[in-house]
């Protein structure tokens, strides 16, 4: 069994290094993408403070379909290009949004969400998934969060 301890007093860069090491340990040798996403969603919720949703959307038949997550029930299907998740999937670029209510076309799955970070997982040059983090706090995510989750997305490429 795995046990991961989190020291909230650590600098953010160390938290992300520890998160990456924990994710690597959990997915190493596991070929089932759903299992890997489920464990990583749990790690995200455990390691990162001030989140109200952490999880995945999968690109299936030209749209995003809900994957494993931790949080309140969520939108099941999102069109590519719609909302923050759809924008990340359509462009292949990270979307870091300080105020989701100011984001054109924002999809409010949870009215409590105020900021969002969505990072595409790219395999063989194609967006296959997005990692979605929501927070009830405005401007919760910064460049360090973006870099940490982008490293996680690279680790997950081809494994989810």
Structure confidence at residue 108 (pLDDT): 74
Which residues, in sequence order, are CB contacts of 84 under 8 Å at separation 6+? 95, 97, 100, 103, 106, 107, 116, 118, 132
Structure confidence at residue 132 (pLDDT): 98
Q: State the CB neighbour count (10 A cutoff) for residue 139.
A: 12
Token reading at 139: 């401007």
Structure confidence at residue 112 (pLDDT): 87
Does domain 12-156 fall under CATH 3.30.450.40? My reply is yes
pTM, rounded to two decimals: 0.94
Task: Report the alpha-carbon distance of residue 103 to residue 29 in Å, rounded.
Answer: 39
| SS3 category, 113 | coil
Q: For 20-28, what is the mean pLDDT?
A: 95
């Amino acid at each position: 069994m795995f046990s991961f301890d989190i020291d909230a007093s650590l600098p953010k860069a160390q938290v992300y290094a520890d998160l990456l090491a924990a994710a690597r340990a959990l997915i190493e040798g596991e070929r089932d993408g759903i299992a890997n996403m489920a464990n990583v969603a749990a790690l995200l919720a455990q390691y990162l403070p001030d989140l109200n949703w952490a999880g995945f959307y999968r690109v299936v038949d030209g749209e995003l379909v809900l994957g494993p997550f931790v949080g309140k029930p969520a939108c099941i299907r999102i069109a590519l290009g719609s909302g923050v998740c759809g924008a990340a999937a359509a462009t292949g670029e990270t979307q870091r949004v300080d105020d989701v209510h100011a984001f054109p076309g924002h999809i409010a799955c949870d009215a409590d969400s105020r900021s969002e970070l969505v990072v595409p997982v790219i395999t063989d040059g194609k967006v296959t998934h997005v990692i979605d983090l929501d927070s009830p706090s405005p401007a919760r995510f910064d460049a360090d969060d973006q870099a940490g989750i982008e490293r996680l997305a690279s680790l997950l490429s081809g494994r989810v």
